[in-house]
Amino acid sequence: MRRFQPIRLAFALCMITTAVNLQAPLYDALAARSGAGVGATTVAFACYVVGILPVLLGFNGLADRVGRKTLIMAALMLCLAATSLTLAVPGLVALGVARFMMGISTAMTSAVAPAYMLALFAGKDSRTPANWVTASTALGFGLGAAVTSVFVLHTPSLTPPSLWLYLGAAALALLLVLTLKDDSPRQAGAEMLRLPDYPPGAFGYALSILLAWATVGLVIAILPSTLTRHGLSGWAGFATFGVCSCGVLFQPWARKLAPQMSTQVGLVILPLAYALIAWGALQGDLVAVLLGTVAASSACYGFIYLGGLSGVLDLAKEHPSRASAGYFLMAYLGFSIPVITTGVLVDAFGHAAALGIFGLALLGGVAVTLGILQRGRIFSQRALQQREASK
């Protein structure tokens, strides 16, 4: 039965991330029911990040105290409670509270999943368990939204059957995790606070993931209201699936490139993909939107995500956990602040102007970041030459 343990953990990870965007196709309808605009919707959406950051920064050592399995089980229970809340009282306030709870669950999961999967594979090449974690979580982020869209397209509802199906699947995942093996040592005095750090040359990678995940957040939180103007809101979940999950298909190519080259390729793709998404949404061209989200996902969850994280870890030296925390801090800042700002602009100036302003900011950010990465490459080469000379 040991050989099935990685599969059970992967299923649990998929269920945790499936909960995150399960309600994404309902955002516009929930806002209409609550009498709120796009700005308020993006605030509820960003409550996810409010849940993530304290755990990511202040409780990174929790797994060393209570164990990995305990955190996975707690994350699943939070997801079950959050989904139940949106079923019981559908609305923006409940959505905000639910996303806060899901943020906590995601942060707890990200803190332990890679090491836990590695332990369950019992000494195999570290790339294999990393691939399982990446694939299962990326699939989950898009799966919930896609399943909800299937039901909403058939019968519009604020409480579609996908939410009830999720409760059953997540409960099954919880039962499967109960008997998972967890041999990780407990350290009662483990350090909890691990502040972020940006080693020399790493800030360009952090800016890259900020731009990438800002684009992902815009697709999830704002695109549904844009598609609603053309009667296409039911397809928003498929756009979320495209931008979150299809990046897995491009990760094998990303692994063949050096971290900086992979990140630069993603940065070149990103504004082009966004332009296709924005044009398609404003014109009501569903094919353009879906193709654009797949292209954006190749950058966001393929080239930039893997290249950037690998580059940061290469530069981290003796503080990899702090460097990773700095990288994900920028990622989740991108997932919230630019999205909220764009939502406010939609309410003030309309969709076309807001999406255009975001596009110009994205293009400028990409240009600046490419320059920073180039300077970082020069710095890394000099540091390598100095180390070689000192030997």
Q: What is the CATH number of the domain that holds 296?
A: 1.20.1250.20
The mean pLDDT value for 186-193 works out to: 64
Residues 373 and 361 in one domain: yes
Checking if the pLDDT of 64 tops 90, the result is: no
Residues 248 and 330 in one domain: yes
Query: Residue type at 116?
Result: Y
Answer with the one of 192, 218, 253 that is the final residue of a domain: 192
The mean pLDDT value for 73-85 works out to: 96
Quote the CA–CA distance of 161 and 166 in Å, as a whole number.
9
Residues 186 and 217 in one domain: no
Tokens of 133: 């974690």
Answer with the one of 192, 219, 249 that is the final residue of a domain: 192
Task: Give pLDDT, residue 376.
Answer: 66
The mean pLDDT value for 171-195 works out to: 78
% the chain with pLDDT above 70: 87
Answer with the one of 159, 192, 225 that is the final residue of a domain: 192
Q: How confident is the model at residue 134 (pLDDT cuts 50, 70, 90)?
A: confident
Quote the CA–CA distance of 43 and 202 in Å, as a whole number.
29
Residue 190, C-beta contacts closer than 8 angstroms, at least 6 positions apart: 61, 64, 65
Residues 237 and 188 in one domain: no
Residues 221 and 302 in one domain: yes
Among the listed ranges 41-55, 164-178, 191-205, 290-304, which one has the minimum average pLDDT value? Answer: 191-205
The DSSP line for 182-239 is --PPP-TT----------TT-HHHHHHHHHHHHHHHHHHHTHHHHHHTTT-GGGHHHH
Better-predicted residue by pLDDT, 320 or 221: 221
Checking if the pLDDT of 207 tops 90, the result is: yes
Residues 179 and 209 in one domain: no
Q: Give 315-345 pLDDT, tens digit per residue.
A: 876 666 677 778 888 988 998 999 999 999 9
The DSSP line for 294-325 is HHHHIIIIIIHHHHHHHHHHHHHTT-HHHHHH
Alpha-carbon 75 to chain mean position: 16
Q: How confident is the model at residue 185 (pLDDT cuts 50, 70, 90)?
A: low
Checking if the pLDDT of 391 tops 60, the result is: no
Better-predicted residue by pLDDT, 138 or 11: 11
Mean pLDDT, all residues of the chain: 87
Residues 219 and 339 in one domain: yes
Using alpha carbons only, how large is the chain's radius of gyration in Å? 20
Residues 183 and 258 in one domain: no
What is the domain count for the chain? 2
Tell me the whole-structure pTM to 2 decimals: 0.85
Residues 174 and 297 in one domain: no
| One-letter-per-residue 3-state SS of 133-166 | HHHHHHHHHHHHHHHHHHHHHHCCCCCCHHHHHH
Which domain does 330 fall in, by range? 195-391
Residues 164 and 219 in one domain: no
